[in-house]
Chain A
Amino acid sequence: MASQEILREEPSRGSFVNDPKVRSLFFQALVVVLLVAGVWWIAQNVIANLTRLHIASGFGFLKGRAGFDISESAIAYSSDSTYGRAILVGLINTVIVAVVGIITATIIGFIIGIGRLSHNWLIRKICTVYVEVFRNIPPLLVIFFWYSGVLAVLPPPRDSIHLPFGSFLNQRGFYFPRALWGDGSWLIFVALLVGIAMAWFVARKAHQRQMATGQQFPVFWTSTALIVGLPLLAYALSGFPLSFDYPKQSTFNLTGGFQVSPEFLSLYLALSCYTAAFIAEIVRAGIRGVSKGQTEAAAAVGLRSGSILRLVVVPQAMRIIIPPLTSQYLNLTKNSSLAIAIGYPDLTATAGTVLNQTGQAVEGVLIMMAVYLVLSLVTSAVMNLVNARMALVER
């Protein structure tokens, strides 16, 4: 009886000062007190400063008249629009450059990354030089290089450089023919959607049949025919409604067509080139991470080299590639805020202007932070979905 009581007794810790639980509670309480005191002090200062500067806090300023122009906007905007709309224009511009940049960077990155693993010495060296150059210089410098070093010294509109398909390149940007969709062109888009849906259906059926019977079906060619053929058919049936508005050269400027500003162009090119170098390294690491035994086993089973790549190497490499690829996409999105240095009106630039005009520093920075956080979360969520599809299914 007595011995049991001794066992149940808590071991002596000397003083309660040495008890980890007490210590942990004490430190956390200390942190909370310090934090609350700090926040309270800052809040007091902010309130005092705002009343001194006669600035009303809150997000009501978003409804005020902006009064400044934005050079590029995907939605209708004038200086009479509200501050809220100005920030929205910036957000859309950020999203545009991020999406286009991510697509281009992925393509260049995969090409360079695979090139670094090529058996061909020359290709390998060229790709290595590309990666080592772009990885080691600041993205802002690359942006300036495209902007002031390349695009600003192009000829003026009078001596524009002619490019294929009726496009032009000059100081004021890149001009290409604008597509004009005539009556009945909605049929083409419907046909495209139908084509994609049918291709997906065919791929599913073919997969099921192969699983059940082992018979293969030429999915790739059927889908291509469906996705390309149906819209073409619709195009012909609806009486060729598509025409182009070509840019025309006049004395001082180009008229018509679609103009891509040098600001957008340099930001887009710089972000793509810069991020591609990092993606290339990720792709290289991913492919090298698939052990040689996998390739050899696939060859022993009798797969051809194309099938080995498609069915064995790439799916396994993608598992290694996708998580770091996601963080590169996030980096590209965040780096697009460098646009402010060359005057492309992205979110940081427009929100910065709003912030300077209204003095609503706290709200302005909060909006910026919130939007970038949301953009990051959305990108992560999409990539996590892709990752979940790719991940190894384990029991």
Chain B
Amino acid sequence: MQEHDMSWVRTEMALAQPAPASVRGMGAWVRTNLVGSVGDAILTIIGIALVAMILPQIINWAFINAQWTGPDRTVCATVAQGGIQSDGWSGACWAFVNAKFGQFMFGTYPIEERWRPIVVAILFVALLVPMLIPRIPRKGLNAILLFLVLPIVSFVLLVGGTFGLPHVETSRWGGLLVTLSLSFVGIAVSLPVGIVLALGRRSKMPIVKMLCIIFIETVRGIPLITVLFMASVMLPLFLPAGVTFDKFLRALIGVSLFAAAYMAEVIRGGLQAIPKGQYEGADSLGLGYWQKMGLIVLPQAVKLVIPGIVNTFIGMFKDTSLVLIISIFDLLGIVKQNFSDANWATPQTARSGLVFAAFVFWLFCFGMSRYSMYTERRLDTGHKR
């Protein structure tokens, strides 16, 4: 009986074959991503036409035809408009931004005192960067420095009047300085106030609960401009005659309270998402209300709603531009104010200034949203489905 050796096993690996030509390489990528079907191909053609129409114009305007330096409006105006450019020229007037850069950053802060906001900015970056990088230790100390010490130091430095520093009125502040200080204070105030409001709204005390609901829903129902109006025209009526306080401070209060109402709703969303067992668990351990919230509930709730919190921050950062309505000149306000400078008035000035301001705002907001996505991924402990 002949034995068949059925247990033959191939010992060497089969050589890997190249993938079929239809799923790899440039050609396949184009086929699947651009011309998958007739409709897809038409869409691609429309897309290419759109890009071909817009992109060269933008590049031409922003870089190739742009004027980077110059003493006054002549570099950015055509001959017909009293300048040196040929007819039909259209390009960005970065010379305008260049010339006004100091104003865009600091407003009319006295030039010899501008080292003060610069020092504050350096301190801010020096404290913020280690705060944002998770690997760097001593977060607690860092947070105290950033949220308690820095505001005091900044206040002393920016306002002056002590330690031999000349006093600078807040009406002379402007530009990015105002935008950033408004947003920083707004963020630092709105988060704790928002947490308190959210806890109040979920509280079992009916009066506290009702007051929180009324505050949150009223503020959320009206535009920020109305709140700022209220801060600028109604607040003086509310105070005894002769008592006034700084317009900048009023705007700060308005912006912070407005953001706090939105923050409260975001935090409430997080609080609601925490299962009841967590509350009961904390109770059964014998923790008091603030211990329960501070140690068990809030850390989980806040982590859940980080995207919402950052979105509120971004919204508030953008909303600070509204203070120009009550004539405080933030970055956008100061850019707009400079349109009326006869020395630089050309058809391109407004566009260039606004594109510059948009770019600065965009950088901050985009940075914040990307950082929040990063944090979300980092803190994701896999509890989410």
Contact = CB atoms under 8 A, between A and B. Distances in A.
A49 B241 contact: yes
A343 to B, nearest CB: 12
Nearest to B29: A121
Interface in B215-234: 218, 221-226, 229-230, 233-234
Interface string B182-220: 000000000000000000000011111001000000100
A120 B33 contact: yes
Interface in A208-233: none
A180 interface: no
Contacts, number: 159
B237 A153 contact: no
Interface string B324-351: 1100000010001001000000011011
Given A118-B43, A121-B34, A372-B226, A338 B233 contact: no
B222 A373 contact: yes
5 contacts: A122-B34, A137-B365, A141-B332, A340-B225, A365-B234
Contacts of A148: 336, 339, 350-351, 354
Interface residues of B, number: 57
Interface in A336-395: 337-338, 340-341, 348, 352, 355, 361-362, 364-365, 368-369, 372-373, 376-377
The B interface, classified by DSSP as helix, strand, loop or mixed, is: helix
B237 A49 contact: yes
A376 B336 contact: no
A120 B43 contact: yes
B365 A28 contact: no
Contacts of B357: 141
A334 B369 CA distance: 23
A136 interface: yes
The A interface, classified by DSSP as helix, strand, loop or mixed, is: helix
Contact of B205 (A24, A348, A355): A24
Contacts of B229: 348, 352, 355, 365, 368
Nearest to A35: B211
Contacts of A42: 238
A105 B286 CA distance: 52
B34 A120 contact: yes
B319 interface: yes
A27 interface: yes
Contact of A149 (B218, B318, B332, B350): B350
Contact of A126 (B47, B204, B211, B358): B47
Contacts of B366: 132, 136
B332 A138 contact: yes
Contact of B33 (A121, A145, A372): A121
Contact of B51 (A31, A48, A126, A335): A126
Interface in A10-37: 24, 27-28, 31-32, 35
Contacts of A27: 205, 208
B44 A122 contact: yes
B322 A338 contact: yes
A52 B241 contact: yes
Contacts of B204: 24
B70 to A, nearest CB: 19
Interface string A116-160: 001111110010000011011111110011001110110000000
B40 A45 contact: no
A122 B47 contact: yes
B332 A119 contact: no
A140 B218 contact: no
B240 interface: yes
B233 A365 contact: yes
B101 interface: no
Given A118-B43, A136-B314, A149-B354, A372 B221 contact: yes
